[in-house]
Structure 1
Amino acid sequence: MLSEHKLAAQAPFPAPAPLPAPALGEPYLLTPGPLTTSYAVKQAMLRDWGSWDGDFRAMTSEMRQRLLAMLGDTNNEFDCVPMQGSGSFAVEAMLGSFVPRDGKALVLVNGAYGQRIVQTLGYLGRDHVAIDKGDYMPPRGDEVAAALDADPAITHVILVHCETSSGILNPVAEISETVYAKGRKFLVDSMSAFGAIPLEVGDVRYEAMVSSANKCIEGVPGFGFIIARKSELEAAKGRSHSLSLDVHAQWAHMNKTGQWRYTPPTHVVAAFLEALRQHEAEGGVAGRGARYTRNRDVMVAGMRELGFETLLKDRWLSPIIVTFFCPAHPDFAFDRFYELMKEKGFIIYPGKLTVVDSFRVGCIGRMDEHVMRKVVEAAGQSLRQMGVDTAAPPAAAIAERAKLAA
């Protein structure tokens, strides 16, 4: 379990062989997606496909089956529905199709993507309430249980599996147990976790989850996918607020014709199918998750040696992306640090917190621990170029974290 995991500085691993570098001297994308992809994934996009052609229909079918195979759905209760657009399109499709118009959602918020779910439900006209934990802490089962006891009108609970604005990995199994013990339904935004963090239906109960092509499976942007119980898909008929984001209509049409209702991102599907094959060859969810975990551990240990401090305690650090406090040193400026890192071949991510200055370093994509050691080396060089002799954060930032986490 993550809470028992020791970081690389405390428990070194044997070093595997390096992965190939990105094609054409591209920089590494140390972000939560889009991310660095393999040359084979890029190469898969060099052919044009007819969206109605039998070969492309077969590709769509294989893609759906490969995604379902990750669930451990031995009773054949789930189906997979690809949906054009970014991950937020797929999240909105899930919310609009599975939260009834007379339902009420409890959203568990600890970052920007939980807040986006709240905003989306407002646009959809769905009644909702939220438990907002701020940037530092996960929701826990006891407080969810109390909220459900206090409001019998709540029909659904919604959680972001990995909240990438902070990098926190939320306790999805704990929340699921609470939700179903109280007779409600659970929806999961696993956008940045599915494919690397287990979400098998025999271990975690939910009605539907959503993810996208350009995350842990290491495809490119262009579509998301909703995996849902067939019973929920049937019940969603006529419920959606949107023609193009109607999950039931997309599902029914695909099952009848093998085709997407509207123009599919054919090149993206071809790339994703290649990414799925590479995912399987790496050992599936377990193999992909192990590489990302090692990426995180090597990178965090090295950054801490430079004086950087993580926003989160080790227990809640995900292997997807890590948030660091910006250094307190007066000569540190994130924009300059970003450009220096980019010059060295690494594109990092700005922070998305409201309380303190921060930045993020992603652990996912076609990269390994050898790359992460180079990331740490580049960070040290960049600090020296800026005249920053320590990356220690402001005392106020540490005090704020301690206060909010108490």
Structure 2
Amino acid sequence: MNAHNPRIEPPRLGEPYLLTPGPLTTSYAVKEAMLVDWGSWDGDFRAMTREMRDRLIALLGDGSDAFDCVPMQGSGTFSVEAMLASFIPKDGKALVLANGAYGLRAAQTLDYLGRDYQLLDKGDYLPPRGDEVAQILATDPAISHVVAIHCETSSGILNPVEEISEAVYAAGRKLLVDSMSAFGAIPLEASKIRYEAMVSSANKCIEGVPGFGFILARNSELEAAKGNSHSLSLDVHAQWAHMNKTGQWRFTPPTHVVAAFLEALRAHEAEGGVTGRGRRYIRNRDVMVSGMRELGFETLLDNRWLSPIIVTFFCPADPNFVFSRFYELMKDKGFIIYPGKLTMVDSFRVGCIGQMDEHVMRQVVVAARDSLREMDVAAATPPEAALQERAKLAS
């Protein structure tokens, strides 16, 4: 593999490509790394954990020396909850910026935690903007933290975290970023975008497998987080302090997943890091979106807000189109797509990340074309009402 032309391996044994925002299609090398058993307290595994943490910190670029990395067992949502509970004090208040399911999930998490918050819900079509954040912060001095979703994968919106950050720190508040589906492919350099902590997971743009998430946080915030968490197992400060003292995870780590993730990190570096990985995903998106539009499909979002992570398409208006049938036909051709997660219109999603390149994305378009023919769908044009709803809400 090299930075300009990484080798993309087809799935083995008839496995489908996962056109999802994670779990995703992984390389042979990542899969094979899980064939070895590791002792969780052994020095070799401690060294693996240290290397993994160091590599993740380095992805923040200039300014990364102010940060440390705290891996956390469980799904990405576990790590989001750990971040919110550990860095928002019990007497703090958050402004949650939502434009899809994951912003709303952050608000739901704060409900469970008993943390005070205000919700800015922009719906499915539009991102929160810096001027909106500035206005809310100016009218509510009790807000101590702002929670932003980097890429909202329910719609595919890439949110403008840089301008959000500028508004947050101009108002003297703190920013927490859920970069679950963006980190590793979309820059989040500590010297260019200010935030106190961000969170992602192993099975996203680094192209590992599910099993843990990780929080990259400023050392000052980690030190100040002692006693904030509601949870024994999700206490970021306690995990951080224990790891730095012993080199070990506090509780049984996902050893095989860590080994696979290290292999994925090395491949990520060989591809050219964040820039190289992002370049491939952008090309995947552009080729796939162009082909799907030629078939008549419409994207939920304008080009300006399309992320290179996952793209949402309206379902066709043709009465012969039934998503469940379309899903099965695409799966039969080797591609697993995602159902929509919108409340207003029928939709589906196609991911651009994982072990795929533009050649695979052209095959996706051909599979979609053939599936429409098998369903006797004359055109992929969406319902006029869906387009009108998009125009109304985006205006």
Same topology, TM > 0.5: yes
| Match for residue 330 of structure 1 among 316, 319, 339 | 319
Tell me, yes or no, if the aligned pair for 1:299 and 1:372 is still in contact at 8 Å.
yes
Tell me, yes or no, if the aligned pair for 1:311 and 1:323 is still in contact at 8 Å.
yes
- Residues 1:259 and 1:252: Cα distance change in structure 2 (over 3 Å): same
Q: 1:286 is matched with which residue?
A: 275
1:319 aligned onto 2:331: no
The whole-number CA distance in structure 2 between the counterparts of 1:130 and 1:271 is 37
Once the two structures are TM-superposed, the CA of residue 24 in structure 1 deviates from its matched residue by 2.2
TM-score by length of structure 1 reads: 0.96
Tell me, yes or no, if the aligned pair for 1:18 and 1:368 is still in contact at 8 Å.
no
Question: 2:228 is matched by which residue type in structure 1?
Answer: R
The whole-number CA distance in structure 2 between the counterparts of 1:270 and 1:17 is 21
Once the two structures are TM-superposed, the CA of residue 16 in structure 1 deviates from its matched residue by 5.5
Tell me, yes or no, if the aligned pair for 2:57 and 2:64 is still in contact at 8 Å.
no
2:198 counterpart SS class: strand
Tell me, yes or no, if the aligned pair for 1:51 and 1:264 is still in contact at 8 Å.
yes
| Match for residue 296 of structure 2 among 307, 319, 327 | 307
1:179 aligned onto 2:168: yes
Question: 1:66-85, aligned counterparts within 5 Å?
Answer: 66-74=55-63, 76-85=65-74
Question: 1:28 is matched by which residue type in structure 2?
Answer: Y
- Residues 1:16 and 1:246: Cα distance change in structure 2 (over 3 Å): closer
| Match for residue 389 of structure 1 among 378, 381, 385 | 378
Q: 1:3 is matched with which residue?
A: none
| Match for residue 222 of structure 1 among 202, 205, 211 | 211
Q: 2:232 is matched with which residue?
A: 243
Q: 1:25 is matched with which residue?
A: 14
Question: 1:100 is matched by which residue type in structure 2?
Answer: P
What is the count of residue pairs matched by the alignment?
A: 392
1:25 counterpart SS class: coil
Once the two structures are TM-superposed, the CA of residue 18 in structure 1 deviates from its matched residue by 6.1
The whole-number CA distance in structure 1 between the counterparts of 2:344 and 2:74 is 31
The whole-number CA distance in structure 1 between the counterparts of 2:216 and 2:356 is 27
The whole-number CA distance in structure 2 between the counterparts of 1:17 and 1:130 is 42
Once the two structures are TM-superposed, the CA of residue 334 in structure 1 deviates from its matched residue by 0.2
How far does the alpha carbon of each residue in 1:224-244 deviate from its partner, in whole angstroms, 9 at most, with x for none?
Answer: 000000000000011100000
- Residues 1:27 and 1:137: Cα distance change in structure 2 (over 3 Å): same
The whole-number CA distance in structure 1 between the counterparts of 2:238 and 2:64 is 24
Tell me, yes or no, if the aligned pair for 1:338 and 1:348 is still in contact at 8 Å.
yes
Once the two structures are TM-superposed, the CA of residue 373 in structure 1 deviates from its matched residue by 0.2
1:208 aligned onto 2:197: yes
1:164 aligned onto 2:156: no
Tell me, yes or no, if the aligned pair for 1:160 and 1:188 is still in contact at 8 Å.
yes
The whole-number CA distance in structure 2 between the counterparts of 1:278 and 1:250 is 27
Once the two structures are TM-superposed, the CA of residue 75 in structure 1 deviates from its matched residue by 6.2
Q: 1:368 is matched with which residue?
A: 357
Tell me, yes or no, if the aligned pair for 1:108 and 1:139 is still in contact at 8 Å.
yes
Identity between Structure 1 and Structure 2 (%):
80
The whole-number CA distance in structure 1 between the counterparts of 2:157 and 2:304 is 9
How far does the alpha carbon of each residue in 1:356-388 deviate from its partner, in whole angstroms, 9 at most, with x for none?
Answer: 000000000001000000000000000000000
Question: 2:191 is matched by which residue type in structure 1?
Answer: G
The whole-number CA distance in structure 2 between the counterparts of 1:315 and 1:17 is 27
Question: 1:83 is matched by which residue type in structure 2?
Answer: M
Once the two structures are TM-superposed, the CA of residue 202 in structure 1 deviates from its matched residue by 0.6
The whole-number CA distance in structure 2 between the counterparts of 1:348 and 1:78 is 36
Q: 1:4 is matched with which residue?
A: none
Once the two structures are TM-superposed, the CA of residue 20 in structure 1 deviates from its matched residue by 1.9
2:65 counterpart SS class: coil
Question: 2:153 is matched by which residue type in structure 1?
Answer: T
Q: 2:32 is matched with which residue?
A: 43
| RMSD over equivalenced CA pairs, Å | 1.0
1:254 aligned onto 2:243: yes
Once the two structures are TM-superposed, the CA of residue 76 in structure 1 deviates from its matched residue by 1.4
Structure 1: gaps (5+ residues):
1-14
Once the two structures are TM-superposed, the CA of residue 160 in structure 1 deviates from its matched residue by 0.5
